[in-house]
Structure 1
Amino acid sequence: MSDNPTLLDIDPSKLTIVRAEPHVLKTIPPPETWVFGQSGSTDHMLIIEHDPEMGWSAPVIKPYSPLTLDPASSVFHYATAVFEGMKAFRGPDDKPTLFRPEMNMDRFAMSAERIALPPFNKDALLALIKQLVLVDERWIPSRTGYSMYVRPVYIGTRPTVGVQASTHGMIFVIMSPTGPYFPTGFKPISLMARHDFVRAWPGGTGEYKLALNYAPTFKPQQEAASQGYQQILWLLGDERRVTEVGQMNFFVVLKRSDGEIDLITPALDGTILPGVTRDCILSLAGTHVPDASSPSSLSTSTRPIPRLHPQERQFTISDIVSWLEQGVLLEAFGTGTASIICPVSKIGWEGKDLILPEYEEGVGPVSKALWERIVEIQEGRRESEWSVKCE
């Protein structure tokens, strides 16, 4: 919410919806052609603007179109931009839902505050996003694995090149149809461990979803690809501490001497993005019991999962080497909105590849069980407070 009570806050009751004329509505491409982030946009977008004299404008949902911005806008010169990513699904009742959107709104507001963008009402913005989803719900098919990606963006639009916080801002939300990340089954990815490039550092902005965190990763990613690796395992400091993989959080699955499982991910120390999927994984692992008859169990009659011990703590690339040598590293995977879970097959480090265990389905039993449970909730096949109706 605004710190100045005289300024207008975001008000969903003032929403204006300008629908695209029927003859200009886009033809929805066949769902089997949808690729995450590459399937175009839906028909409409949401826009709200902030002025330092008045506060937030009346929100508008209108046909998707280019933005008009002053060339001196803060976002172009000082990277005052934050964004989020979430998905809308169609439940068994044919109603659209969002998956844990409150977490996205909390992180969106936290990120905006970090770069001194004007504050906003999170609940009001979420109410407007739900309305946008309803306007374009025809883009959400009733097919498992398919959804509509929702991208809220907040940019600084102060129209001067002075080096200072942007008092002007614009929030806009666009959406895109998306299909399964692995349409033909899980395909483990290869990583190149890098310490010469740093994604985030102590006291920096790694825990915020800022646009400025992403562009510097593109060049190292290209270099990794040129050497045959699909993503980067970001290391930090002289101890080569593991942080993230690509733009995902990172987990390892370790076999304990008592037959149970340690599920470890780097702690939120300021260099790690507090991912929504990351939080889901930790929560589901923490409530899991091996007995398949329990509602919270991740086990099935044909795939028992031992008790899981989720941990948030630091570990290094040397730890990974040691765990592999000891034969206790069972699985490693990244987590994020796009893939949910992305298994890892090998890690390039110091001129050789660290080979991880292979599984017939391309994914280990623990990570597959976690993936299945999240998908069940997202698609409404399992009741959960994480699934929020758009109404």
Structure 2
Amino acid sequence: MAGVFKVLCQVSHKQGRRVAHQPWINHMTRRSLASFKASDLQIQLSTELKQKPDPNNLVFGKEFTDHMLVVDWTKDGGWTAPTIVPFGNLSIHPASSSLHYAIELFEGMKAYRGVDGTIRLFRPYANMDRMSISAARCALPAFDKDELLKCMSELIRVDRDWVPHSTTSSLYVRPTMIGTEPSLGVSPPTQAKLFVIIGPVGPYFSTGTFNPVRLYADTEHVRAWKGGVGYAKLGSNYGPTIMPQVNAINNKGCQQILWLYEDEHYVTEVGTMNIMMYWKNEQGEDELVTPTLDGTILPGVTRKSLLELARKWGEFKVSERPFTMKDLVKGVKENRIYEIFGAGTACVVCPVSSILYKDEDLEIPTMKNGAKLATRFYNELNDIQYGRVQNDWMYNVD
């Protein structure tokens, strides 16, 4: 628990939030009991194995493996022994707090079968850190991140034949925790369920891998706000975005929303991605810029990785700072923008071709300029993820 609390304090300090002083974290720290242990893991193998899909025709999030990981928690009894069981439906009380008050969190990460046949997870410790922060924020129980990672690794090993033998697809890993408090009071849950489901995935967007998308800069709706929970990966951050997303697709001809904030229209993030802009700034410097983690933005693992790669190269300025649509529009009109692209676990790196803002279509020259930086990022990450380049970001499942 001390380790979890330390991470919370460090991340909060870096992001300029006083999370460490908020009473719900101290309360959560006091009331959580000891974590489950991977050494107690029990495995019940399925007797009916499913046919595996064609790895070249995978639709994101539609296929799931034969097994899942489940761990239950109660306030009085703590965590039960983790179990791997046949994939199937959950049974929860109709009054469960996750259904009524959105006491729920999730994570998303990927496992890759390397060119050497070894299965590896990409930076799972970063996901575990973020999951701990999300759990504290919505009053769900703390857990030992190393123990969960060991349990997830065993789940992947059990279903290892589902990890695609492909360098264009991977195995998506979705840890989830829900409040299962069987009462209608708005209070910290006394019961919770942690489960992990996994499945093979291909490109996130129907347009395919590394194809450019068109964004709708939404001036009406807001995804997150300062003092809110935009930094945590909670289901409540995503549900309210679906209606505006449908509008962007059906009425605006755009694949994703570019979320803005405050009257100045600060750029924050895209629907399923962090956003990055490579341009010549007003000081004449080549700069890769992405919005600051100010509490309104999810601290993406791919975002973190691209920034670290760029800083290691040392070839241009790398900045995490606020910028507005006014800055972006001015950059487009003055031909100072080279590329704009999204970054996320699902899409990895996704170029942006245009942005619809206040009925004006801003043509972004990402593809016209060859998407050189986005392509370089994409290729370097792929080389790391599929084991062509050795990197300590990869966690060996085998």
Structures share fold, TM-score greater than 0.5: yes
SS in 2 for 1:61: strand
- 2:220 paired residue number: 196
Pick the aligned partner of 2:165 from 142, 146, 152.
142
Q: Deviations over 1:266-297 (max 9, x none)?
A: 000000100000000100000015xxxxxxxx
Counterparts of residues 17-32 of structure 1 (less than 5 Å): 17-21=43-47, 24-32=48-56
Counterparts of residues 288-327 of structure 1 (less than 5 Å): 288-289=313-314, 307-327=315-335
TM-score for the superposition, normalised by structure 2: 0.89
Q: Deviations over 1:362-383 (max 9, x none)?
A: 9610111011101110101101
- 1:46 paired residue number: 69
- 2:234 paired residue number: 210
Aligned residues of 1:186 and 1:363 also touching (Cα < 8 A): no
1:80 aligns with 2:99: no
Q: Deviations over 1:220-255 (max 9, x none)?
A: 011111221111111100111110111210000013
- 1:296 paired residue number: none
Q: Which has the higher helix share?
A: 2
Pick the aligned partner of 1:234 from 255, 259, 267.
259
Provide the C-alpha distance between the structure 2 equivalents of 1:165 and 1:342, rounded to a whole number of angstroms: 38
- 2:115 paired residue number: 92
Q: Which moved more, 1:327-336 or 1:91-100?
A: 91-100
Q: How large is the RMSD of aligned CA atoms in angstroms?
A: 1.9
Aligned residues of 1:118 and 1:167 also touching (Cα < 8 A): no
- 2:57 paired residue number: 33
What one-letter code is carried by the residue in structure 1 that aligns with 2:230? G
Counterparts of residues 218-367 of structure 1 (less than 5 Å): 218-226=242-250, 227-255=252-280, 261-289=286-314, 307-359=315-367, 364-367=371-374
- 1:299 paired residue number: none
Aligned residues of 1:83 and 1:211 also touching (Cα < 8 A): yes
What one-letter code is carried by the residue in structure 1 that aligns with 2:341? F
1:176 aligns with 2:199: yes
SS in 2 for 1:47: strand
What one-letter code is carried by the residue in structure 1 that aligns with 2:346? A
Pick the aligned partner of 2:182 from 156, 159, 163.
159
1:110 aligns with 2:133: yes
Aligned residues of 1:72 and 1:160 also touching (Cα < 8 A): yes
SS in 2 for 1:69: coil
Query: What runs of 5+ residues in structure 1 fail to find an aligned partner?
Result: 290-306
Report the CA distance shift for 1:260/1:287 in structure 2 as closer, same or farther (over 3 A): farther
Report the CA distance shift for 1:49/1:185 in structure 2 as closer, same or farther (over 3 A): closer
Provide the C-alpha distance between the structure 1 equivalents of 2:341 and 2:156, rounded to a whole number of angstroms: 31
Provide the C-alpha distance between the structure 2 equivalents of 1:106 and 1:186, rounded to a whole number of angstroms: 28
SS in 2 for 1:342: strand
Provide the C-alpha distance between the structure 2 equivalents of 1:139 and 1:56, rounded to a whole number of angstroms: 29
Residues matched between the structures, number: 370
Report the CA distance shift for 1:6/1:173 in structure 2 as closer, same or farther (over 3 A): closer
- 2:35 paired residue number: 9
Q: Which moved more, 1:183-192 or 1:256-265?
A: 256-265
* CA drift at 1:256: 5.5
SS in 1 for 2:121: strand
Query: What runs of 5+ residues in structure 2 fail to find an aligned partner?
Result: 2-27
